């Protein structure tokens, strides 16, 4: 029987300093820290090299993290998922999308006098990473880290529309839509038609599907490869805006806000040109870094709360 290869030791996997040091935990965290803005996708060999682990050990950690939902595998490459946010500050401290988006959300809210948010896709949910709410008598209780089903939200449909056919099919099969209101679309054929419309027009409009009286419009924020890495939305009460006024009064400033976030990402990371928003609009953007030191992941109950 061949002995197991001797474990290499890099700076992240050095020998324990004292008896309380848990080396297995240190190695798992080292695998997570191997990913970065400059290297969001890594092969098994690259992870092993970066961490100083053997390929066999690195593979076990990657497969464990994949099973737990913290890493996503695609072909020979692995990348982190937004679920890593649940681990806390080790990942959050290096993330910048919320920080970049916040002033633009504040400017957008000041302009349209409605609440605005930024979210990312995590499996079949969206996760809120930045938000500015208006002081209205009625608003849905949403915080940083709040999760909602992607199929029932404008930001979720924008992000689902960017998936390839295989990933979209898998997401819709797993989603199992819930009828939050009488207006919620739960039929898969109708959902696909809505997502196709979003893909063709470049923005999504959801009318009272998540909460009665609440309308929302969303646009994508794309990276330098044209990938929708996040979405930005504006939500409004039905008494203030119908579809025509949403499209006329809210969509243009929303597109401008998303473009400004993308431009700031480009300035911050010095990356190439990419598309953001409706077809034909071009801007520059950078890698999506999701999180905030105060972000906490929380799943909202199916019955949404009102704050009065």
Q: Select from 2.30.130.10, 1.10.4160.10, 3.10.20.30, 1.10.10.10 the CATH code of 23-87.
A: 1.10.10.10
pLDDT tens-digit series, residues 46-93: 999 999 999 999 999 999 999 999 999 988 999 999 887 666 544 444
pLDDT at 224 over 80: no
More confident residue, 8 or 246: 246
Alpha-carbon span 223 to 226, nearest angstrom: 5
pLDDT tens-digit series, residues 158-217: 999 999 999 999 999 888 888 999 999 999 999 999 999 999 999 999 999 999 989 999
Query: Residue 16: its pLDDT value, please?
Result: 54
Alpha-carbon span 224 to 57, nearest angstrom: 33
Q: Select from 2.10.109.10, 3.40.50.12240, 1.50.10.10, 3.30.450.40 the CATH code of 95-270.
A: 3.30.450.40
Predicted confidence band of residue 143 (pLDDT cuts 50, 70, 90)? confident
Query: Residue 222: its pLDDT value, please?
Result: 84
Query: Residue 15: its pLDDT value, please?
Result: 54
pLDDT at 299 over 50: no
pLDDT at 112 over 80: yes
Query: Residue 88: its pLDDT value, please?
Result: 56
DSSP notation for 269-307: HT--EEE-SSTT-EEE--------TT---EEPPSS--EE
* Per-domain residue ranges of the chain: 23-87, 95-270
pLDDT at 298 over 50: no
Helix count (H) and strand count (E) of the chain? 10, 14
Cβ contact 174:123 at 8 Å: yes
């Amino acid at each position: 029987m061949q002995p197991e290869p001797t474990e290499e030791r890099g700076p992240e996997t050095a020998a324990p300093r004292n008896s309380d040091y848990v080396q297995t935990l240190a190695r798992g965290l080292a695998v997570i820290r191997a990913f970065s803005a400059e290297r969001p996708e890594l092969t098994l060999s690259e992870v092993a090299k970066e961490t100083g682990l053997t390929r066999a050990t690195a593979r076990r950690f990657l497969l464990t993290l994949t099973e737990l939902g913290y890493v996503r595998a695609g072909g020979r490459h692995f990348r982190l998922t937004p679920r890593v946010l649940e681990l806390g500050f080790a990942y959050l401290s290096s993330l910048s999308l919320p920080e970049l988006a916040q002033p633009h959300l504040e400017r957008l809210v000041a302009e349209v006098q409605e609440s605005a948010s930024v979210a990312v896709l995590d499996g079949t949910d969206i996760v809120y990473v930045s938000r500015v709410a208006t002081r209205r008598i009625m608003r849905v209780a949403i915080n940083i880290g709040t999760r909602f089903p992607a199929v029932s939200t404008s930001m979720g449909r924008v992000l689902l529309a960017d998936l390839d056919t295989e990933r979209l099919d898998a997401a819709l099969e797993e989603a199992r839509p819930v009828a939050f209101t009488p207006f919620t679309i739960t039929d898969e054929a109708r959902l696909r038609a809505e997502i196709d419309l979003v893909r063709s027009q470049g923005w999504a409009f959801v009318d009272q599907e998540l909460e009665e009286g609440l309308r929302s419009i969303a646009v994508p924020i794309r990276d330098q490869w044209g990938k929708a890495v996040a979405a930005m939305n504006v939500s409004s009460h039905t008494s203030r805006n119908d579809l025509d006024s949403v499209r006329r009064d809210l969509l243009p400033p929303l597109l401008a806000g998303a473009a400004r976030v993308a431009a700031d990402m480009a300035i911050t990371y010095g990356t190439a040109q990419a598309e953001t928003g409706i077809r034909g609009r071009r801007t520059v953007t950078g890698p999506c870094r999701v999180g905030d030191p105060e972000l906490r992941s929380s799943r909202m109950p199916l019955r949404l709360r009102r704050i009065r």
